[in-house]
Each structure stands twice: as C-alpha cells, then as structure tokens.
Amino acid sequence: MTGSGEPGYCERMKSFPLLAAMLCSMGCATSTVGPGRLNHELLSLATNAHGTRKIELHSDKNGTITKMSVYHQDVSRVPEAIRKLAERQFPDSKIISMETENYADAGLVYEVELESPDGKRCEVSALPDATLRYTECRLSSDGLPAPVSQRIATTVPNGTIEELEVLKGPSIAGGEEYRAEVKLGGVEHYLRISPSGELLRHGIVVPASIEVPIQ
C-alpha cells in the first residue's frame, strides 16, 4: 500500500515483512480501479495479536480479494468453543497455532492447527458458532490418489512438492479435496485438486509486504 502523502506517514506504519499474497497465476486482468479493501478487523488483529506470523491474501483473476488470513498464536483470539471442537476432532493433539480469516462469500472463519504426539499436523476450520467447515491434514505423496499425483505432475512438470494436504468436510465440494504447494524455478505454485484429478485452482505465491498504520 502506498502512503497518503502526509509527512512522516511511513514512520507511523507498522511493517509486516513475512506476508504472502496468493494471486491467480494465469490470465490476470489489468484493472484501472484501485485495490480491494482489506478487512479492518483482521488488520487490527495483525497489529495486536500475540505471535502474528503473516497475512495471506487470495484474489480472483480480476484482482478482487476473496480471502484474507492472519496467522497468529494468540489463543485468546479464537472462541473457546472452536478450540474445543478442534480438540474433539483430534484427541491427544496439541494446539500450536491459529488463523483468523475473512472470506468474501463465507465471512469470518477460524482455523486451529494441532500437532499429534507423532508429529502429524492437522487443522480444523469452523464458523464463529463452532460449526465445522472442514478438517485439513498434511500427508505424504504416498497417500495421494493416482489422479491427483498425475495432475500435479502435468500442471507443474519437474516441480518439487513442498507440502500436501487433504481437506474433508461439509464445506468442501464433494466432501474431499487435495491441496499442494509445488516449487519450480524459485516459484511456489498452489494447486487445488479434486480426488478425480480435476484442477480446481492454480495460483502462485507472490511475496509481498503490507504496512499498516498504528496511529
């Protein structure tokens, strides 16, 4: 974001260097209008929550912001009912981080990440009333259905798989979806794939920095 032109504006900003803007990788249209508005409550959270790690933005092909996430470790910022839901989904696992998100279509959403004693990491996504949206667990390439593996290989040939996750739940079309982060030539690709191998989304991660005024 650019400054307002006021003297000393940048000196009154708080900078977040560890940010990722998730932007569409193909056919992004050039627009003459300004950027979409960021959720002010999440910006406030980012400047005040304990252990804020990054802000993540997703956009559509026209540059409209469709999702904003704040990654943090502030347990007090996540409703207790959602934390308990996460613990019921994955008993004996320990809560290690949180996300507070705002979707253009779903509104406010919380994600809680947990780690099991054997090191397996899963996340629970829920609405503010603790209604489960989906669970999201990391997995190895050995656990991928063949159509998903093939789609990754054909979409990003010779890429290195950095992370794989399987999502299951009522908010996922068809009840199940796979997501992959694949790096090629220094570029990180983000893929969403159905169990049958259909490519649902292909984006790239663009490093970014956002300055948020604190006074």
Task: Give per-residue pLDDT as tens, 12-27.
Answer: 334 444 445 444 433 3
Q: Which residue has the higher pLDDT, 197 or 211?
A: 197
What SS3 state is found at 200?
Answer: strand
Contact between 98 and 85 (Cβ < 8 Å): no
Place of tokens 């893929």: 191
Instruction: Report residue 61's pLDDT band, with 50, 70 and 90 as the boundaries.
Output: confident
CATH 3.10.450.360 for domain 11-213, yes or no, is yes
Q: Within 13 Å, how many C-alpha atoms sit on residue 162's CB side?
A: 12
List the one residue out of 53, 41, 55 whose CA is nearest residue 97: 53
What is the per-residue pLDDT across 139-174, written as a single tens digit (0 to 9) for each? 999 999 999 999 999 999 999 999 999 999 999 999
Whole-structure pTM value: 0.83
Beta strands in the chain (DSSP E): 13-24, 54-59, 65-72, 94-103, 107-115, 121-126, 132-138, 160-168, 176-184, 187-193, 199-213
